[in-house]
Structure 1
Amino acid sequence: MIMSTFSVLLDQWKDELVAAGRSPGTIAMRMSYARRCLVSIGKPVELIERADVIRWLASGGWGPDARACAAASVKGFFTFLVDTRVIADNPATNLPRISRPRAVPRPAADAVISDALAAADPKIRLAIELMATTGLRRAEVARVKASDVEPVGRGWMIRVKGKGGHVRRVPCLPGLARRISATGGYLFPGYDDGHISPGWLGKLVGRVLPEGVTPHMLRHRFASIAYMEGGHDLRAVQALLGHASIATTQIYTATCDRDVRAAACAAWKVSA
C-alpha cells in the first residue's frame, strides 16, 4: 500500500518536473534519488521526519557530488508535497550543508584520444571527435542530426540544444560537419525519441577509452585547449560549453605549466 502511494506521488512530481521544462536526464536522476529515499525510510510520507532523511543521507556511502544531488532531489520532492498540501511540513528543510572539494579540470590527453579513435568503429569515432573537438555533452551528441550543421561564412556551425532547452551554436570542423550532414537524419539513430540514449552512447565511447578516462574528460579537453589556445577568453569558452555560470567553466579549463610558470615569475622580482 505504501509503495503504491509512493508511485502515485512520484508520478505527480514527475509531471511537475516535465511541466517545468527539466531535462529527461535531470528528471530521471531526481526521481531515482527520491524513490530510493522513500523506499529506504519505508514510512508513509506524512510520518517522515528530518532525522529519517538525515539517516538516509548518512548511510548512502556516496561521494560529495552524489550526496549533494541526493539532498537536492529529496528536498525538491518534499517541497512539492508541501506545495500540494500532501504534507504540512518539509522534513528536508535545513539539511546540513554538504562539503564539496574544489573540482579540478580533468582533460583527456590527445594521445589517449588518438588511440581511442584508432580502436573505435566509424560511428563511435564520430562521437569521440564531436566530444573532443566541439565540447558537446554526451546527451547533446546523442541528439545530433544532419540538419543541426550548416555552412557559415568560411566554416561550419553545429546547432546544439543543451540543458534547459537552451540553444547555442558551436564551430565544427568542416570534414566532421560534412559527415554529419551526409547522414540525412540522426547521427546515432536509436529508440530514445529516434536517437540513441545518452547513457548507452557514453558506455560505447567508454569502452574504447582506457581505464580512468571518461567521455566527459573529452569535453574537459576541448574546454582546456579552447581556453589556452584561444586567448584565455573564459567568456567565450563559457558560451561554447553552454554553461549558465562562469564558475562552472573554470572547473573545465586546465591551466598549462607554461602559464603557471609565467604567473609565478611575474611575482619573483621585488622592486627596490
Structure 2
Amino acid sequence: MIKPLLAVQNGKPVFVTRPPEFEPGFNRSDSMSMLDSDTDWPVVIEYLVQFQPKPNTLANYLKEVERFALWLIHEKQKPISAVNRADWLAYLDFIKSPPATWCSTKARKFQKDGITLNTGWRPFEIRTVHEPLATKSIDVDDDPQLVTGLSENSQALAKRIIESMFTFLVVAGHLNANPAMSPRTRNRSSATKKSFSERTISDELVDYTIDILFHAQKHAGSEREAFGYLRAKYIIQLLVGTGLRLSEAAGHTYGDISIRGERWFLDIVGKGDKPRSIELFDDVIAVMKEFRLAVGCSSPTPLYLDAMKLVPGKNVNKAISGRRIIQIIRESFDLACKAKLAEAEAVACAGDKGKLLRDASYLEKASAHWLRHAHASYFLKHSGQNLKATMSRLGHADVGTTMIYIHDD
C-alpha cells in the first residue's frame, strides 16, 4: 500500500513514514559532500528546508518530491543516487497517466486527529475535465471526463522541481551528475554562469579603485571633497566585504551591529522583510572603526543603539539613498577607469597595454551590484562551497540564485 512519505509539521518538512534503505547508487559522489548525511533520503529534507520561509512554495515542492520518492520506492526499488536518464524519462511518462492504485479523490494525509495517517490518501488526485465550450455541440449534455494524470502545466512544474533537486544535490557534492538535466538545460545553465562571470569584479580591481580613491582623498582641494573620497572608499569596502544589497546598506545603522566578544554581527532586515544576521570579517571591522574615527565619532566601536547610519551623509545620523550610493560607486569606478587608461597611454609594451585596457573596460562597465557578486563568490569559495551558509548570508530565497556563484575552477 502506498502511504504518505513526507509532510510539513510545525513549519518543517519531515518524513512521516520511514523510507526503505538502499545501497548507494552508481551516481553517488565520492567527493566531500556539503550535506549532513551519508545516505540518500535525509538529503531530500535538506533540499526542502530552504523553502521553509515560504509555506506555499514548500508545500508545492514537497508534494512533487514526495511523488518522485514514492515512485522510486514502489516502482523502481532504488535510491535517488541510482536514478539514470532512462528512469527520469520513465517518470515523466508515469505522471502523465499514473495507474488507478496511485490515485484517489482529494483526501487529506492525516485523519482528523492530525496524527493517524489516512489510508485513503494517494499521491495523485482524480480530477474531472470538461470538454471545452468551443468544441462542444450546443445540444449535447456536458459529461465530464475523469482523469488521473497531471495537467501539462503541472507536469512542467514537477519536472522543474525535481530537476532543481538534482541540481542542488550535484552542487552540494552528494551526486556526480544530474540525470534530469537535458543538454539544452546544461547549455542554458552554462550561459547563466558565463553571464554572471562577466558581471563581477576582481579583488585586484577593487584594491586598485581603493588606492585611487585614497590618493584622491590625500590631494583633495577641500574638506568636503576629501570626505567624499573617504566615504566612497568606505562604501566599496563595506559592500564587497559584506555582500549587502544597496537598500540594506542604506537602511541600517551602527546600532544594528551586535558585538559578542571579539565578533561583530550585523542584524539585517532584508528583501521581503526577512531578518538575517551576518558575521563581519576582521578587515570590514577595521574599515568601520577607521571610518567612524575619520568622521568624528568618539568611539571606533559602535555604541548601544548607535544612531550613526551605516552609509551616512556629512551628518552621520542621516542616511543617503540607494540611488546616491549607486552614483558614488559609479563615479569611483570611472575615476579608476581613467587612471587605467592613462597608464595604458604611458606604456610601450603591447602586452602590458592590452591588460591595462582590458582592466579599464571592466571598470567602465562595473556597477554597485558587481560588489555583491564579488562577495558572494569569495564567501562561497572560502566556506568550502557551503551553499546553505552562502544562501543565508546573502538573504537568497532560492538556492538556484546562490548556485550561479559556483565557478568551475
2:325 to 194, 201, 218: 201
Determine whether 1:157 maps to 2:309: no
> 1:241 is aligned with what amino acid?
L
- Alignment match, 2:196: 104
Maintained 8 Å contact 1:107/1:254? no
1:134 lines up with 2:242 in the alignment: yes
* Partner of residue 188 from structure 1, selected from 311, 315, 321: 311
Asked if 1 retains the 8 angstrom alpha-carbon contact of 2:308 and 2:318, the reply is: no
Q: Which amino acid aligns with 1:111?
A: E
Between the aligned partners of 1:246 and 1:198, the Cα distance in structure 2 is 26
> Which secondary structure does the structure 2 equivalent of 1:187 belong to?
coil
Structure with the higher helix share, 1 or 2 = 1
Q: Spell out the pairing of 1:20-169 with structure 2 (5 A cutoff).
A: 102=192, 103-105=195-197, 106-120=199-213, 121-169=229-277
> Once the two structures are superposed, what CA deviation does each residue of 1:118-153 show, in whole Å capped at 9, x if it has no partner?
233111111111110110011111223120222124
Out of 388, 391, 397, the residue aligned to residue 244 of structure 1 is: 397
Question: 1 CA distance for matches of 2:254 and 2:399?
Answer: 30
Query: What is residue 231 of structure 1 aligned with on the other side?
Result: 384
Distance (Å, rounded) in 2 between the aligned partners of 1:159 and 1:256: 32
Larger Rg: 2
Matched with 1:265 is: none
Cα offsets for 1:209-263 (capped at 9, x unmatched)? 2201111111111111111121110111000000111111112x14153xxxxxx
Give 1:184 deviation, angstroms: 4.5
The share of aligned pairs that are identical, in percent, is 25
Structure 2 distance, partners of 1:148, 1:256, is 36
Instruction: Give the AA of the match of 1:160.
Output: I
CA distance in 2, matches of 1:214, 1:110: 14
**147 and 166 in structure 1: CA distance in 2 versus 1, 3 angstrom threshold:** same
Where does the alignment leave 5 or more consecutive residues of structure 1 unmatched? 1-98, 258-272
Distance across 2 between alignment mates of 1:114 and 1:133: 12
Distance in structure 2 (CA, Å) of the matches to 1:134 and 1:117: 16
Aligned residue for 1:125, secondary structure, equals helix
SS at match of 1:104: helix
Query: TM-score when scaled to structure 1?
Result: 0.52
How far apart, in 2, do the equivalents of 1:161 and 1:111 lie? 31
Provide the alpha-carbon RMSD of the alignment. 2.7
The residue type paired with residue 250 of structure 1 is M
- Measured against aligned partners, the alpha-carbon deviations of 1:8-60 in whole angstroms (never above 9, x if no partner) come to xxxxxxxxxxxxxxxxxxxxxxxxxxxxxxxxxxxxxxxxxxxxxxxxxxxxx
- For 1:211, what is the secondary structure of its paired residue? helix
User: Does the alignment pair 1:175 with 2:286?
Assistant: yes
Equivalent pair of 1:170/1:240 in contact (CA under 8 Å):
yes
Question: In 1, Cα distance between the equivalents of 2:262 and 2:408?
Answer: 30
Q: Distance in 2 between matches of 1:256 and 1:228?
A: 11
CA distance in 1, matches of 2:310, 2:394: 20
Q: How far did residue 107 of structure 1 move? A: 2.5
The alignment's TM-score, normalised by the length of structure 2, stands at: 0.35
Residue 158 of structure 1 aligns to which amino acid in structure 2? L
**Contact 1:108–1:218 (CA under 8 A) maintained in structure 2:** yes
Structure 2 gap segments, 5+ residues each = 1-187, 214-228, 293-301, 334-362
Task: State how far apart, in whole Å, the 1-side matches of 2:209 and 2:201 are.
Answer: 11
Check the 8 A contact 1:159/1:167 in 2, yes or no.
yes
Q: How many angstroms apart in 2 are the aligned matches of 1:147 and 1:256? A: 39
